Amino acid sequence: MTTPIRVFQVATGNVGTEMIKRISTRDDLELVGVHCYSPEKVGRDVGELAGIGPIGVTATGSVDDILAAKPDVLTFHGVFPDEDLYVTVLEAGVDVVTTAD
């Protein structure tokens, strides 16, 4: 078996929630974290935020937590691009996939 791709998801809106659901069911992907911009979501289990029940991944609001998780890729599905975030993770060697403009 190959090592799963480590994914850090950003945002928990419509697309982000769907990504959490899909990533959590894939053997070839490992959800290593979720970054939220809403303070009331930080610290909660992201499975509960996505409506699928606890999955053992806690939402964060810190870019340092993203880098500490050592993801292979960051998936960004917020409405507005976060160019500062993109630059920070790209400079750390993390690939970025986004649906934002």
* Contact indicator for 18, 26 with CB cutoff of 8 Å: no
pLDDT tens for 2-32 read: 899 999 999 999 999 999 999 999 999 999 9
Give me the pLDDT at residue 100, please. 82
Give me the pLDDT at residue 50, please. 95
Q: Hey, is 10 helix, strand or coil?
A: strand
* Contact indicator for 98, 73 with CB cutoff of 8 Å: no
pLDDT tens for 43-92 read: 999 999 999 999 999 999 999 999 999 999 999 987 888 899 999 999 99
Name which residue leads in pLDDT, 99 or 43: 43
